[in-house]
Structure 1
Amino acid sequence: MENFEVVVIGGGPGGSDCAIRLAQRGKRVAIVEKEHFGGTCTNVGCIPTKALLSASELYARVREKGKRFGITGEVSYDLKTMLKHMERSVLMSRKGTETLLKKYNVTIIRGTALYNERSFFIKETGEQLKAEKFVIATGSRPKIPSPFRVEGIWSSDDVFNMEEVPDSITIVGGGVIGVEMATLFSNLGSSVTLIELMDRLLPTEDVDVSKAIERALSRRKVRVVLSTAVERLESGEKFKLFLSNGEEVLSERVLVSIGREPVIPEGLEKAVKTERGAVVTNENFESSLPGIYAIGDVRGKVMLAHVASAEGVYVAEKLSGYESHIDFEAFPSVVYSSPEVASVGKKEDEKGLEEGFRSFLFPLSANGRANTMGERDGFAKLITNDKGIIVGGSLVGAHVSETLMELVLAVKHGLSIQDLTEAIHPHPTIAESIRDAAEGLEGKPLHI
């Protein structure tokens, strides 16, 4: 096999972007992928989830709000057609990644990489991978504890292979995946129970976000059960879950969404330093084995596709002799619920903000664009430090995933309240709520 300067193992967002940037910098680079390019995000994560959410939300929106907009008549959905839309979205993203790799002359190696005796090999052929540097970008898989390893229990991956929408479903885990799946199935008419061990949904988000999403899901008739664990379950015609609060829940399906765990190439987990099943790296993403780097979910840190991509580009630049920087204080997070959640930087928890920090929450019920869309639920919330610098923000509402970048740039570049209030925002837009929240921090809100 050819000698390369760098071999990237894993063709997800982190690995693919790393390989492409290395090639752009003139490196001889190969990428190893055992199945489909695009990784978790493209194949069983971001892309298929959002495709189904988009289709189901259109159906639910017409059903729930059509009459208000003057749209009459019966509306129904066809799951097979929705799944075809999902499959087209996945295929376009997957093929797009492979096309770009070929465009930049990245050598594609099909197979499963394993580590043995200080070298990487292709499991299927036995060929040794020869390179000066290796980048591990092998991603993660759904975490399924032993009590849930029962035939018929779903992980988020299994949703994309469903043949029919269940009449009832219990979702265990109220994080991002759990909330998005609760949104999807409630859109399609399932009776949904959402169980979370912590005392609020989306526990890593701002406390006001958690409250807003719980209210929104409850209005959609999702039953939210907080501060509760599943102690055991029984399977039969239906699944029966026995909860720590003494309740018993019956449902046709159970979906476990309590997080993901890193996937490390076979053999490497015994040779490299790990912590809680993840590869430990230094500030430059190099592992305990010199010349072997790790990016993305396999590090067990921020398990987001766009963060994996940023880490991949960072490593590629460093290995090419260029300076690079990642600001982990300013990475965006999005939840595709109804309404959407988008956040960056500092967040407020149940204890409130520490001394010196201030916040202001502007309700979307006072936003013109939200009213024209019939989407009044949500808010824009900004947090500043004692110098009036924007250090965090959370948005809840329609399409806020598309307006978040203003806050990402504000946090990344240390913009002030005045920087936001002096910027003219287009009217009517959801983005105006960010300026309105900034005016609230000045003590001079114009629209409430």
Structure 2
Amino acid sequence: MAEYDYDLFTIGGGSGGVRASRVAAAHGARVAIAEEHRIGGTCVIRGCVPKKMLVYGAHFAEDLEDCQKFGWEIEGKSFDWIKLRDNVLADVDRLEDAYTDTLESHDVAIFKERAEITGDHEITLASGKTVTAKYILIATGARPRLPECAGVEHGITSNEAFHLDELPKKVIIAGGGYIANEFAGIFNEFGSKVCIVNRGDQLLRGYDEALRDRLLQISVMKGIDFEFNTVFEYIKPCEDGGYFVKLKNNDEERVDLVMFAIGRVPNTEKLGLDTVGVALGDNGEIKVDEFSKTSVNYIYAVGDVTDRVQLTPVAIREGQAFADSVFGPNDPYAVDHSCIASAVFSHPPIAAVGMTEGEAKNKLGSVRVYQSDFRPMKNVLAQRNERSLFKMVCEGDNDRIVGIHMIAPDAPEMMQAAAIAVKAGLTKADFDATTAIHPTMAEELVLMK
């Protein structure tokens, strides 16, 4: 008789938890997973996937305007938010079923309820059922952070943005990170009047300064307002709908919607982690070593709950590495968290990999910076005065590329290939020796001066 009910019990059915469970099962482990909401987690259900679909929908606003310069006339065009919303949510349902099917096809037992660690190797489900496992994996992700202000309960987060019954005429979005800027672009293209409110003095900390400045410039040109160095004093409902919002050092104003996008908090509460002594960091994140092991020998954690790099592909890689290392036939291995490419699906999008110019100067001293500041061909013919910017940051001594940064239409699509070159340690000369594909925006990568 087996010593434990399962070889692995995963708490959290998001991207990292699902990958780890599936791979562990493929290695022959007896696996169970518990998810109290929906299989797929933040990315699939209320994050990257439905947001990207809204981004696609928002792009048609400018495309339909620009198409006239290309000879197209579209009479009576209109936008139906409810149709887009329901189509997006229907596809989310499809993806949830696909993720569930993947687990079931690998004989992973699925418990659609909350789970808590209640003892050594012991997990108790919300239904009262208790099971044991040789290893426990925490993959519970993170949730939107809320500010401390009067009336905070009247605002929404990105979780609720996908379920709105109508588009706001005027919306305030709190935050300066990627979620705030992405939804600002979405709402703005759908016709809402948007204002981003940020307690600091800059957008998108961690991205190259030139790209941040360019996005701010273009966003203002598109009609998005910004309020920096301020916080909410209160939010209160109006009798006839909407809300009165008071910002510090500003007059009270009336809006239809307030959305908070000020960061994310690891989901570590009420998991029983203190019962077995799992160590947490200052922000409530689970502290892990390079192999995702916690302070308790048989408990591991992957994804946003560890607050290492809060990106879905990183969670998937961590889940894969955990399952291979613990249950696979080969030697354990760790995920390399350096040089991770990322994107902001703003309008236009930003993509980056490696060090910014400032980071490179601080770390390396001598650097060389190459760049291309241009107007994409499509924008020229459409008479859209919106310029793109590519930057390549190289080590001064040998021209090894240590960072690439772009703001341009389809920048994330171009960055995926460029990131391989940076990860591989290629030089500016390697790019220069590559023949350009003309005419494309991507050719600027091999033509930068």
* 1:263 aligned partner: 267
Alignment CA distance shift 1:252-1:372 (3 Å): same
Over residues 236-278 of structure 1, what are the superposed CA-to-partner deviations in whole Å (9 max), with x where a residue is unaligned?
2442333234444431111011011011262434232111111
Name 2:440's counterpart in structure 1.
429
C-alpha displacement of 1:44: 0.7
By how many angstroms is 1:149 displaced?
5.2
Q: Which whole-Å CA distance do the structure 2 matches of 1:124 and 1:28 have between them?
A: 21
Tell me the alpha carbon deviations over residues 293-312 of structure 1, each in whole angstroms, 9 at most, x when there is no partner.
01111112211111111111
Displacement of 1:80 after TM fit?
1.4
Structure 1 position 416 matched with structure 2 position 427: yes
Q: TM-score, normalised by structure 1?
A: 0.91
Q: Deviations over 1:125-152 (max 9, x none)?
A: 2222322111110011111123165443
Match of 2:395 in 1: 385
Of stretches 98-107 and 33-42 in structure 1, the one that deviates more from structure 2 is: 98-107
Cα deviation digits, residues 112-168 of structure 1 (max 9, x gap): 111223344343222223221111100111111231654431111111110000110
Question: What are the equivalent positions in structure 2 for 1:366-405 lying under 5 Å apart?
Answer: 368=377, 371=380, 377-386=387-396, 387-405=398-416
Question: What does residue 244 of structure 2 align with?
Answer: 240
CA change 1:106–1:149 in 2 (3 A) is: farther
CA distance in 1, matches of 2:27, 2:381: 48
Q: Does 1:339 align with 2:333?
A: no
CA distance in 1, matches of 2:15, 2:339: 19
Which SS does the other structure have where 2:244 is aligned?
strand
Determine which of 355, 359, 366 is the counterpart of 1:356. 366
Aligned partners of 2:383 and 2:72: how far apart in 1?
14
Aligned to 1:317: 324
Task: State the Cα deviation string for residues 197-249 of structure 1 (Å, max 9, x = none).
Answer: 22221122111111111112111111012232223333324423332344444
* Per-residue deviation, residues 4-41 of structure 1 (Å, max 9, x unmatched): 22122111111111112212223222222222111001
Q: Which amino acid aligns with 2:350?
A: V
2:312 and 2:426 map into 1 onto residues whose CA distance is: 26
Instruction: Pick one of 270, 280, 288 that aligns with 1:274.
Output: 280
TM-score normalised by the chain length of structure 2: 0.91
Q: Contact 2:237–2:243 at 8 Å: present in 1 too? A: yes
Aligned to 1:302: 309
- Comparing 22-31 with 161-170, greater Cα deviation is found at 22-31
Give the deviation of 1:345 after TM superposition.
1.1
Unaligned runs of 5+ in 2: none
State the AA in 2 paired with 1:71.
Answer: W
Which residue pairs with 2:70 in the alignment?
69
* Structure 1: runs of 5 or more not aligned: 441-448
Counterpart amino acid of 2:373? P
Q: In the aligned structure 1, how far is the partner of 2:439 from the partner of 2:107? A: 46
1:3–1:371 CA distance, 2 compared to 1 (3 A): farther
Match of 1:26 in 2: 28
* In 2, Cα distance between equivalents of 1:308 and 1:372: 42
Match in the other structure for 2:110: 108
CA change 1:175–1:245 in 2 (3 A) is same
Relative distance call for 1:268 and 1:348 in structure 2 (3 A) is farther
CA distance in 1 between counterparts of 2:378 and 2:28 reads 47
User: Quick check: 1:8–1:136 contact (8 Å CA) kept in 2?
Assistant: yes
Counterpart code for 2:349 = E
Tell me, in whole angstroms, the C-alpha distance in 1 between the residues paired with 2:437 and 2:136.
Answer: 47
Give distance in 2, aligned partners of 1:59 and 1:406. Answer: 28
Residue type matched to 1:216 in 2? I
Contact 1:392/1:407, CA 8 A, preserved across alignment: no
After TM superposition, the structure 1 stretch with the greater mean CA deviation from structure 2, 236-245 or 10-19, is: 236-245
User: What residue identity is the alignment partner of 1:55?
Assistant: G
Cα distance, 1:282 vs structure 2: 1.3
**Residue-pair matches, total:** 436
CA RMSD of aligned residues (A): 2.3
Contact 1:13 1:305 in 2 (8 A): yes
Percent of residue pairs bearing the same amino acid type: 27
Kept in 1: contact 2:360–2:367 (CA 8 A): no
| 1:443 corresponding residue in structure 2 | none
1:222 aligns with 2:230: no
Partner AA of 1:198 in structure 2: G
The 1-side partners of 2:103 and 2:161 are apart by 29
Quote the Cα distance in structure 2 between the aligned partners of 1:431 and 1:268.
Answer: 50
Residue 337 of structure 2: which of 320, 328, 339 is its match?
328
> Which of these residues, 236, 250, 254, is aligned with residue 250 of structure 1?
254
